[in-house]
Amino acid sequence: MIIGLTGENCAGKGTVAAYLQKKSFYYYSLSDAIREELARDGKDITRETLIAKGNELRVKLGADVLARRIMQKLQKDKNYVIDSIRNPHEAKALLELEDFTLVYVSAPSEMRFERMKSRNREGDPKTVDAFLTIDKLEIEGRDDKSQRLADVIALASKRIMNDAGFEILYERVDRLLGELSASFKQKRPNWDAYFMGIAKVVSLRSNCMKRHVAAIIVKDKRIVSTGYNGTPRGVRNCSEGGCSRCNNFAAAGTKLEECVCSHGEENAIVQAAYHGIAIKGGSIYTTFSPCLMCAKMIINSGITEVVYNVDYPIGERAMELLKEAGIIVRQHKVE
């Protein structure tokens, strides 16, 4: 879930962001990129310099530059809150993200001015009129590359009114999260995709020169054994010249009697036996459909289901044998 915050000055965006951080949201502000630029330039960080530098960056590098810089930092496995969205091009860039929601945090202008007075920052306007003048400039900005809050607010799909105490504000944020959680359910892989994905990772350990294959054996949704193709334990790796047949790149299906590499399914079954693990009644997930030799081992080991990713080039007879033996055979493709 990625929540973007926009709104007028002192509306309470920072308070909402801080509350979401307590709920394990990671925080970014579009103004962070501006602060980095000002620090590089050796300039003081004030409201005026932030606005000026932000406008300068948008002119030089595109109106959505601040959003694009933050988007490069986002990771799929985290929830984020992104503050200080002030230009419609920034908002539109972020709205391209699948799980992004733009939220407008608002409060009455008189209340916002009182909050500004309470924080007592140097450079803040001291009168209501001066405050409203600055407010209007930020809300109704005419320049395409400057702050244009009115256009950003128009893009927001959710609104939080911050016109009461903290507890009420937090309740409103919680209500918002409850609404969004129904829309942004975590996308979890199903069991087939999960186990086949793990099998593909296991195949990265293969040392075979011709193809990398792996298999995992699963019982009760628990991995009990893994195997990948390569030379036997204690024998020089295929990738180091251990198998002359693979290193000479023999044509598919030829000189198999010379190949010293064990197959992924074979190794998964043998490893289970080596460690005394029962695999009867289990399922085997393999990145290639089994060859004839591995099919016979699967049948005799008591495995009841084979799930494979892609077809083995010479695996037709093996598939026939598995089905004749009553083994469930399914294909589940993953990239």
Q: Any idea which residues carry the catalytic annotation?
A: 265
Contact 194, 178 (CB under 8 A): no
Give the chain's length: 335
Q: Is 195 in contact with 223 (CB distance < 8 Å)?
A: yes
Identify whether the C-beta of residue 173 lies closer than 8 Å to the C-beta of residue 160.
yes
Picking from 177, 213, 222, 172, the residue whose alpha carbon sits closest to that of residue 195 is 222
> In one letter, which amino acid is 117?
K
Helix (H, G, I), strand (E, B) or coil at 81: strand
11: left (phi over 0), alpha (psi -120 to 50) or beta: alpha
Q: Would you give the DSSP letter of residue 203?
A: G
Rounded Cα–Cα distance for residues 56 and 175 (Å) = 38
